Structure 1
Amino acid sequence: MQDWMMFGAYLMVPVILAMAAIAVLLNRDTIIWGIAKCATGIAFIFASLLAVMALFGARTSEPTSWIAITPLTQILMILVSFIALVVMRYSHRYLEGEPRQARFVALLLMTFSAVNVVLLSNHMLLMLVAWITVSLSMHQLLMFYPERPRAALAAHKKFLFARLAEGSLLLAFILLYHVHGTWQIDLVLAAYQGSEVALSFHEQLAAVLIANTALIKCAQLPMHGWLIQVVESPTPVSAALHGGVINMGGFLLMSFAALFSQAFVAQWFVLIVAGLSTVFAAWIMATRISVKVRLAWSTSAQMGLMLVECALGLYELALLHLVAHSCYKAYAFLSAGDAVNQYKQRLLAWGRVPEIKDWINAFLLAGILVGLAILAANHINQNLTLMLSPWLLILLALTTYLAERRSQLHALSIVQLLAGALFLVVSYTLLKSLAALSFSDVVVQHQGYADIWMSVLFAFLFSGYLLQRYALHWHAVQKIQLYLYAGLYLDEWATRITLKVWPIRLPMRMKAKQLQSSHKESLS
């Protein structure tokens, strides 16, 4: 009885959001925002209270054939509910005077409700149905301005890619059912927890298909173009997409970590595709001027890095990355309107180009901090397997941060910078250790070649950043910049194939008078 009460409490989060979506469609425009904000607020409170109860010793229920409650589920339910609350409050002011507000609110509520069902699912078919629901609801939100041809083309590409991802996921689930004879996720994963298992061909293929689903969902190159072009959709939709929905690929790999950690082929598939996507998307981002487009390329790069962390077996780091990226990217899109003021502040900022001695000093200081962090991490966990690539990335990031301190708006003293850098390193080490508790049953096989591969890519990433920032006067760098500005022409290739497979008639740009008349018709 107590188990069912606990499950009922967790199910209240998606149920409240779904009921609010129905209520919004049945009520007048004057109260829909009150219903929506109240529902998202209650959902966030429910998710937070349940997580706090679990933290202080409340017994979580054993998984059923449909629902499972895990630490990963609890963390991400709080995150999704928080993003839903913030986005809904922002949308009220953003959409003021817009037609079809009730439809927008209902779709947004349904999207977040379905995401919560994905998080709670312990049945592979239930997860797939909820996954498809999220995709279809988001597609309608992306088409909120159907008269915009770029938005329509992006939504069309996403629709096709999403069906490809869902087909991969369905086939993976069928293969796992064929091997294990059950649709329950916890029973499937139990076969891989606690010890190394030699996977059959069907299991290896299922892991590759799950990885393929995650790569497509996270908009990795070359299936990234839709993510860049959907910035023409309303800003709250971009915040919900980049701050929540697109992270589902990372959640999928974390949920099936026990299987994925023992699938060598699937890991290298992710390491190659996501690793290259991380580097090239970050370089391409630096060539962009539009704030939203830069943020979209940043999302593709960040998602690639998160998937790489999963492939390296650093699931706790991937979880921290997911939470931090969701909060940051939602904030970045919702505050994009202040970009002009931020740009003016950067223009007024005094600074100078760091000299060689600045980089040497910064590298030495960053090396000391990273060395201390490694010693601390080893002290916390005596069985820690040291990997080069994540610490190299931190070292390069801290080096850049310290060397470029004089180019900031308010240059900090070296003591302040060191204190900030030390705080970041210590926080990272502690939070990583705490997040590791969510994956205590996962057997991770560390691969030396994978670590070397990512170390080389991170070195290329850092080298490319330096060339883009300080060597643009070189002819060779300028030539490379042209290709990067074109996105290596990957999206053009993907668009041609998409339109060849499934042609579509794009809407024509409306003139001002046409938009005005259509607006009046929608209001009447």
Structure 2
Amino acid sequence: MSSALTLVTAAAVAAPVVLWSAGAIPSRIGNRSGPRMARLANVLAWTAFALALAVLSGHGFGPTQSLTLLSIDLPFDIGAFAVSVYVNAVTVIMLTLVSFVGALVSTYARNYMSGDPAEGHFHKWLLLTLASILTLIVSGNLLMFVLAWIATSLSLHRLLLFYPERPAAVMAAHKKFVFSRIGDASLLIGVLLIGATLHTLDFAGVYMAMEGFEGPLPATLQAAAWLIVLSAALKCAQFPFHGWLLQVMEAPTPVSALLHAGIVNAGAFLVIRMAPIMSLSGSAMDALAVVGLVTLTVASLVMMTQTSIKVSLAWSTSAQMGFMLLEAGLGLYSLALLHLVAHSLYKAHAFLASGSSVDGFRAATPKFRDGGPQPWHWLVAFQGAILMAIVAGFAFGVDPVHQPALIVTGAIISVAVAQLLLQALQLEDNAALLLRASAIGALVCFGYFGLHAAFEHAVADSMRAVAPSGGTFDLILSIAIVAVFIGLILLQHLFMRVAPPLRQAIQVHLYNGLYVDVLVTRLITRLWPLRPAPAVS
């Protein structure tokens, strides 16, 4: 093994290990010296980020590297359980991203939790949660991946119950606990099916076995793909299992930031990691896309009615997770990874700065013309947006025949840019602002396709591309996706023209999330009664 390979894999191992070391500190000792524990947590979090940067600089987006520290053969020829690391482009991107977000959250939490009686307990479990996520990212073995997946959920559970005296926090944690255990079981069964079929549990072995695989997947791998979809949907708080994500706001703000910017993204990461199998299961991919589309539609509608900043951000996260799984379901893994990175950075900032969001409402707002957008406004906005998207796509070599899914997401970008142009057209004295909006729209289109090309090049050797099927269902799904986004922008502008009684009734129902979570909560509490949460020690 070369020295460069040794340094890269050693750094990948050390990043989570330095955080796991915090688990050896009892909470009672940490609480006695909270400020010292906070400083230690901050140092360890930034050390993990420094090690992630070492992996990034040493490996970059080069060939895959792996290292096995311990391996135990398992019965029934399903492979071996191994403590190993697997470093490819996806690992490097995710390790750098999550460790950076974790270091920022730890720094924020140092002041946020200062003086709390359980300050040391909080920082201990924050580091253990972050350690679990980093272990998940670098895992080179499927069973090790599952254990890290479970550890992430259990560690987060302790943070969600940081205030056990709050009934809403306890209920949200209980619902998440139930959904997580279902997701854990689904993922474990799926992994065992993969091992029984391919006779290996190492990511490297799975990728090698699936390379060049032709024909329909065996029934066991089809079942594994569906179980992965279920596990990813539960982890990403997809409809109708989304309620807990909206109700964990009772936890401290650093927990919300880490949850929404890092942990909830694990479902999309799971699908990306299992791309060699998922790419060959058309039915599972279609189901993933449909789940994502339904979730982003419902969440986008409900989000517009919320009055709480943090709850609105939670609905936004659910919608963004739906969008991310939709991209993955369409086979646009590199785009889903780009979305994951952008969403993590944005949502970490949004939650950590949520206390200052009220300042935005104090700022002067531009004056819009009375009467709403006129027909010619719509025509100009959509024509301009479509033209920008076409030019940008052509500049980066998008092929409509071989990349139909990318055309669909390009249409979504056109809708977003059209919304920007539409708002500029409605402003009084809008000449300068319209020019600025057009420049921003063009930058968005070129940035979108440019970053997609960059990510696709970076992860080209890390995942298997999905060949377009050209089937009827895919065509219907593509039309439905574009129709949903056009419908959302139309509703946003025309909703106030609906008769007041009907509009108010719709707003009430949307504000309450269409009451789906109420039914889910009743079902869960009936099947798995809520037990009193243990006090923090």
Q: TM-score, normalised by structure 1?
A: 0.91
Matched, 1:399 2:418: yes
Map 1:7-26 onto structure 2 (within 5 A).
7-23=9-25, 25=27, 26=29
User: In the alignment, which of 374, 383, 388 is matched to residue 355 of structure 1?
Assistant: 374
Asked if the contact 1:250–1:307 (Cα under 8 Å) also holds between the matched residues in 2, the reply is yes
The answer for the alignment partner of 2:117 in structure 1 is 99
The answer for the alignment partner of 1:512 in structure 2 is none
Asked if the contact 1:472–1:478 (Cα under 8 Å) also holds between the matched residues in 2, the reply is no
SS of match in other structure, 1:220:
coil
Asked if the contact 2:39–2:110 (Cα under 8 Å) also holds between the matched residues in 1, the reply is no
In the alignment, the residues of structure 1 paired with residue 181 and residue 478 of structure 2 have an alpha-carbon distance, to the nearest angstrom, of 30
Asked if the contact 2:303–2:315 (Cα under 8 Å) also holds between the matched residues in 1, the reply is yes
In the alignment, the residues of structure 2 paired with residue 409 and residue 299 of structure 1 have an alpha-carbon distance, to the nearest angstrom, of 33
SS of match in other structure, 1:378:
coil
Quickly say closer, same or farther: Cα 1:88–1:24, change in 2 above 3 A: farther
The answer for the alignment partner of 1:61 in structure 2 is 65
Give, in angstroms, the shift of residue 477 of structure 1.
4.3
Letter in 2 for 1:424: V
Matched, 1:38 2:48: no
User: In the alignment, which of 200, 203, 209 is matched to residue 218 of structure 2?
Assistant: 200
Give, in angstroms, the shift of residue 335 of structure 1.
0.7
Give, in angstroms, the shift of residue 383 of structure 1.
8.5
User: In the alignment, which of 452, 477, 493 is matched to residue 476 of structure 2?
Assistant: 452
Matched, 1:29 2:34: yes
The answer for the alignment partner of 2:167 in structure 1 is 149
In the alignment, the residues of structure 1 paired with residue 420 and residue 312 of structure 2 have an alpha-carbon distance, to the nearest angstrom, of 20
The answer for the alignment partner of 1:500 in structure 2 is 526
Gaps of 5+ in 1: 508-517
In the alignment, the residues of structure 1 paired with residue 152 and residue 171 of structure 2 have an alpha-carbon distance, to the nearest angstrom, of 19
Asked if the contact 1:128–1:170 (Cα under 8 Å) also holds between the matched residues in 2, the reply is yes
Give, in angstroms, the shift of residue 122 of structure 1.
1.5
Give, in angstroms, the shift of residue 219 of structure 1.
0.2
Q: Give every structure 1 segment of 4 or more consecutive aligned residues whose post-TM-superposition deviation is greater than 6 Å.
A: 407-411
Identify the range of structure 1 (410-419 vs 155-164) with the bigger mean alpha-carbon deviation: 410-419
Give, in angstroms, the shift of residue 210 of structure 1.
0.5
Letter in 2 for 1:190: M
Map 1:228-377 onto structure 2 (within 5 A).
228-345=246-363, 348-352=365-369, 353-377=372-396
Quickly say closer, same or farther: Cα 1:435–1:194, change in 2 above 3 A: farther
Matched, 1:421 2:448: no
In the alignment, the residues of structure 2 paired with residue 407 and residue 231 of structure 1 have an alpha-carbon distance, to the nearest angstrom, of 36
Give, in angstroms, the shift of residue 5 of structure 1.
4.0
The answer for the alignment partner of 1:129 in structure 2 is 147
Quickly say closer, same or farther: Cα 1:436–1:482, change in 2 above 3 A: same
Asked if the contact 1:44–1:82 (Cα under 8 Å) also holds between the matched residues in 2, the reply is yes
Q: Deviations over 1:491-520 (max 9, x none)?
A: 01110110011112568xxxxxxxxxx99x
Asked if the contact 2:382–2:414 (Cα under 8 Å) also holds between the matched residues in 1, the reply is yes
Gaps of 5+ in 2: 69-81
SS of match in other structure, 2:108:
helix
In the alignment, the residues of structure 2 paired with residue 228 and residue 39 of structure 1 have an alpha-carbon distance, to the nearest angstrom, of 30
Give, in angstroms, the shift of residue 38 of structure 1.
1.1
Letter in 1 for 2:109: S
Give, in angstroms, the shift of residue 439 of structure 1.
3.8
Give, in angstroms, the shift of residue 33 of structure 1.
1.7
SS of match in other structure, 1:365:
helix
User: In the alignment, which of 162, 166, 171 is matched to residue 189 of structure 2?
Assistant: 171
Give, in angstroms, the shift of residue 67 of structure 1.
1.6
Asked if the contact 1:128–1:169 (Cα under 8 Å) also holds between the matched residues in 2, the reply is yes
In the alignment, the residues of structure 2 paired with residue 489 and residue 56 of structure 1 have an alpha-carbon distance, to the nearest angstrom, of 46
Identify the range of structure 1 (279-288 vs 12-21) with the bigger mean alpha-carbon deviation: 12-21
Quickly say closer, same or farther: Cα 1:378–1:362, change in 2 above 3 A: same
SS of match in other structure, 1:67:
strand
Letter in 2 for 1:51: L
In the alignment, the residues of structure 1 paired with residue 330 and residue 456 of structure 2 have an alpha-carbon distance, to the nearest angstrom, of 14
SS of match in other structure, 1:159:
helix
Quickly say closer, same or farther: Cα 1:5–1:54, change in 2 above 3 A: closer
Percent identical across equivalent pairs?
A: 35
Asked if the contact 1:63–1:186 (Cα under 8 Å) also holds between the matched residues in 2, the reply is no
Asked if the contact 2:19–2:127 (Cα under 8 Å) also holds between the matched residues in 1, the reply is yes
In the alignment, the residues of structure 2 paired with residue 474 and residue 413 of structure 1 have an alpha-carbon distance, to the nearest angstrom, of 29
Matched, 1:484 2:510: yes
Q: Deviations over 1:410-463 (max 9, x none)?
A: 975333222212222111112111211314450313244325314323323332
Q: Deviations over 1:90-144 (max 9, x none)?
A: 1111112211111100101011111111011121111111111100010110011
Letter in 1 for 2:51: F
Q: Deviations over 1:377-406 (max 9, x none)?
A: 227x79852333211101111100111126
Give, in angstroms, the shift of residue 44 of structure 1.
1.0
RMSD: 2.4
Q: TM-score, normalised by structure 2?
A: 0.89
Quickly say closer, same or farther: Cα 1:280–1:454, change in 2 above 3 A: farther
Give, in angstroms, the shift of residue 62 of structure 1.
3.9
Asked if the contact 1:276–1:457 (Cα under 8 Å) also holds between the matched residues in 2, the reply is no
In the alignment, the residues of structure 1 paired with residue 35 and residue 155 of structure 2 have an alpha-carbon distance, to the nearest angstrom, of 23
Asked if the contact 1:196–1:443 (Cα under 8 Å) also holds between the matched residues in 2, the reply is no
Letter in 2 for 1:474: V
User: In the alignment, which of 45, 48, 54 is matched to residue 53 of structure 2?
Assistant: 48
Asked if the contact 2:64–2:86 (Cα under 8 Å) also holds between the matched residues in 1, the reply is no
The answer for the alignment partner of 1:139 in structure 2 is 157
Aligned length: 507
Quickly say closer, same or farther: Cα 1:383–1:450, change in 2 above 3 A: closer
